[in-house]
């Protein structure tokens, strides 16, 4: 273990604190405390799963060159807007499906479409 | 801010005594109240008052006065829509809005979609909403000629949606793929039908007997009637009940059959699929918009920030459609 208190440990501690606080809150604040715990769970999954590295590799594979993720995304979008990329581009649909799965695994693994595809 | 009305003010509006007012929901610019009024014969007259600050038009929507008039005309045409009792005038001093009948029923879709007491209502609902859409889409445009319903061809509407997406400066390869897919397929159809514009399970008022009313007419516009059929089948309104594509309660073919049987004209399967993709993308851009409320500082909130991450759900739905045919 690199550190005693890693980022994931801090997230877990803060989420625990919010859960403790929640029964004392009412209405909108109580609802927001729940949403905040969900948001922390997203952060924890993002740290553990590193979906951006996977996305970068998949998009670079489609384009045939590597670059920072933001630039790869922008290149794909530019190609789709200009019509130089499209549904027929080899590997595009398969890669974007894998990217979407990796992102949803982080953001909402309980989502029905994710569960249908992840089985 | 919306103005909080007193019972006396509301009584003067409707010309009947008011026993109580309760705020149901309130935002920065609009608010909804439950009003308990009494009819001349002393029986209960349950009403809803919706009012908003003067000049605040709902995003992409209809001025409230026109929304009320549209709702009233649809009620008079026999559609299941709450009767409008009074439209607010500037002299009323309550901003813009209207008073309408408060109908009994459950508006929270996750409740009526799942509770056993609504099972019979759910069984009949696909046929009911199919018939309602057929009836709505058969209304002559002359009926709304004096109202400011937004209009434009499907190609223009797609252009507007793309411009809206680009406002946020986000590059989503999946959204751009969906735009390219739509651009290739969208015929430049004229806007020749009254479209509800937000016809989904969350906007139905349901009793144990079935559909009581269709709510929220503020996104009504002129367009292609197939838009309502497609929007109703977007995955976001199924609340997890994905194997019932019609709002979490029915099957597409049963919806189309009911629509056709009620005089809605033949349903073009490819066109309605196009509107499902369109609707899914539109909901995705709405998630970007809500996330942007937080990022831009317009409405800083953990809830808005978290909704921004629901873009992933939409991207996965779109990719499911493109890879497997539908979702």
pLDDT tens-digit series, residues B147-165? 999 999 999 999 999 999 9
Q: How confident is the model at residue B1 (pLDDT cuts 50, 70, 90)?
A: very low
Percent above pLDDT 90 for chain B:
84
pLDDT in tens, B68-90: 999 999 999 999 999 999 999 98
Task: Dump the DSSP string for chain A.
Answer: ---SS-HHHHHHHHHHHHHHHGGG--HHHHHHHHHHHHHHHHHHHHHHH-HHHHHHHHHHHHHTS---HHHHHHHHHHHHHHTSS-TTSTTHHHHHHHHHHHHHHHH-TT-HHHHHHH-
Considering only CB atoms, B306 lies closest to which of A39, A83, A97, namely A39
Of the residues B181, B319, B324, the best mutation for testing chain A's interface (the one with the most A CB atoms within 10 Å of its CB) is B319
Residue count of chain B: 327
Question: With contact defined as beta carbons under 8 Å apart, do A55 and B322 qualify?
Answer: no
Q: CA–CA separation, A71 vs A47, rounded Å?
A: 22
Chain A to chain B Cβ contacts (< 8 Å) = 104
Domains of chain B as residue ranges with CATH: 7-101 (3.30.200), 109-324 (3.90.1200.10)
Q: What is the pLDDT of residues A67-94, one digit of tens each?
A: 999 999 999 999 999 999 999 999 999 9
| DSSP characters over B88-157 | --GGGSS-EEEEEE---SB--HHHHHH-GGGHHHHHHHHHHHHHHHHHHHTS-GGGGTTS------HHHH
What pLDDT does B56 receive? 60
Q: What residues form DSSP beta bridges with B96? A: B52
Residue B135: name the closest of B210, B211, B72, B79 by CA: B79
> From the list B171, B181, B312, which residue is nearest A107 (CB)?
B312
As for the ipTM of the complex, it is 0.95
Contact B180/A73, CB-based, under 8 Å? no
CA pair distance A70, B172, nearest whole angstrom:
10
pLDDT confidence of residue B27: 58
pLDDT tens digit sequence for B189-215: 889 999 999 999 999 999 999 999 999
| Average confidence score pLDDT of chain B | 93
Closest CB from B242, B306, B312 relative to A116: B242
pLDDT of residue B60: 62
Does the structure show a pLDDT above 70 at A16?
yes
The answer to whether residue A52 neighbours chain B at the CB level (below 8 Å) is no
Mean pLDDT of B251-255: 98
- The model carries a pTM of 0.93
Residues of B in contact with A73 (CB under 8 A): 171-173
Q: What is the pLDDT of residues A23-60, one digit of tens each?
A: 999 988 999 999 999 999 999 999 999 999 999 999 99
The predicted structure's pLDDT at residue B26: 62
- B80-127 tens-digit pLDDT: 999 999 999 988 888 889 999 999 999 999 999 999 999 999 999 999
- What does the pLDDT look like over A95-110, one tens digit per residue? 999 999 999 999 999 9
Judged by CB atoms closer than 8 Å, whether chains meet at B313 and A59 is answered as no
């Amino acid at each position: 273990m690199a550190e005693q208190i890693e980022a994931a440990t801090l997230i877990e501690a803060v989420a625990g604190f919010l859960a403790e606080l929640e029964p004392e809150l009412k209405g909108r604040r109580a609802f927001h405390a729940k949403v905040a715990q969900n948001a922390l769970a997203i952060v924890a999954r993002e740290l553990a799963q590193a979906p951006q590295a996977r996305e970068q590799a998949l998009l670079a594979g489609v384009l045939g060159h590597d670059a920072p993720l933001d630039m790869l995304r922008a290149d794909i979008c530019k190609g789709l807007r200009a019509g130089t990329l499209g549904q027929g581009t080899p590997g595009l649909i398969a890669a974007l499906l894998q990217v979407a799965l990796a992102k949803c695994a982080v953001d909402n693994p309980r989502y029905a479409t994710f569960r249908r595809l992840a089985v | 801010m919306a103005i909080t009305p007193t019972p006396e003010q509301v009584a003067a509006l409707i010309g009947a005594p008011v026993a109580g007012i309760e705020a149901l929901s309130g935002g920065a610019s609009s608010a909804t109240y439950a009003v308990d009024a009494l009819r001349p014969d002393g029986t209960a007259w349950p009403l809803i008052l919706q009012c908003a600050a003067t000049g605040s038009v709902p995003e992409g929507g209809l001025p409230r006065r026109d929304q009320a008039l549209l709702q009233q005309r649809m009620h008079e045409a026999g559609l299941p829509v709450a009767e409008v009792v009074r439209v607010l005038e500037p002299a009323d001093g309550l901003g813009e809005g209207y008073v309408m009948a408060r109908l009994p029923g459950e508006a929270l879709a996750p409740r009526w979609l799942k509770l056993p007491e609504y099972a019979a209502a759910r069984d009949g609902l696909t046929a009911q909403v199919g018939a309602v859409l057929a009836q709505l889409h058969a209304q002559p445009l002359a009926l709304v000629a004096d109202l400011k319903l937004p209009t434009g061809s499907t190609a223009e509407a797609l252009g507007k949606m793309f411009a809206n997406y680009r406002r946020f400066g986000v590059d989503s390869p999946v959204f751009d793929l969906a735009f390219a897919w739509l651009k290739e397929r969208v015929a430049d159809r004229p806007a020749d039908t009254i479209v509800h514009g937000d016809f989904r399970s969350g906007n139905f008022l349901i009793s144990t007997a079935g559909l009581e009313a269709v709510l929220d007419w503020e996104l009504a516009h002129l367009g292609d009637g197939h838009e309502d059929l497609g929007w109703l089948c977007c995955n976001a309104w199924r609340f997890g009940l994905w194997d019932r594509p019609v709002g979490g309660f029915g099957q597409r073919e049963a919806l189309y059959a009911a629509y056709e049987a009620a005089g809605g004209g033949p349903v073009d399967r490819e066109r309605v699929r196009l509107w499902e993709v369109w609707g899914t993308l539109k909901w995705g851009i709405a998630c970007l918009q809500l996330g942007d409320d937080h990022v831009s500082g317009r409405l800083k909130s953990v809830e808005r920030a978290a909704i921004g991450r629901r873009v992933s759900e939409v991207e996965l739905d779109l990719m499911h459609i493109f890879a497997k045919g539908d979702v």
